[in-house]
């Protein structure tokens, strides 16, 4: 279960690293707004998946 929670954080971390690298070389491909939008989308999907997984778990 813990592995599933680390994947969204990994996606956001990779995007942040890509932004830092491209900005360092003078190629601002990813803006702060796009990073925030992607992070919000990943968090929303992870939340929905987490709710669906926990809904089916025996109590």
Per-residue pLDDT of the chain (59 residues; tens, 9 = 90+): 556 656 777 877 888 888 889 889 998 888 888 888 888 888 888 888 878 877 765 66
- pLDDT for 6 equals 67
φ and ψ of 57, to 5 deg: -75, 140
In the chain, how many domains are there? 1
pTM for the complete prediction?
A: 0.64
- pLDDT for 3 equals 60
DSSP characters over 2-57: HHHHHHHHHHHHHHHHHHHHHHHTT---S-HHHHHHHHHHHHHHHHHHHHHHHHHS
- pLDDT for 34 equals 86
Structural domain containing residue 38: 2-56
């Amino acid at each position: 279960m813990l592995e599933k929670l680390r994947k969204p954080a990994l996606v956001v971390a990779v995007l942040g690293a890509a932004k830092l690298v491209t900005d360092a070389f003078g190629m601002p491909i990813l803006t702060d707004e796009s990073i925030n939008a992607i992070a919000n989308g990943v968090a929303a999907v992870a939340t929905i998946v987490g709710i669906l997984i926990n809904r089916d778990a025996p109590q």
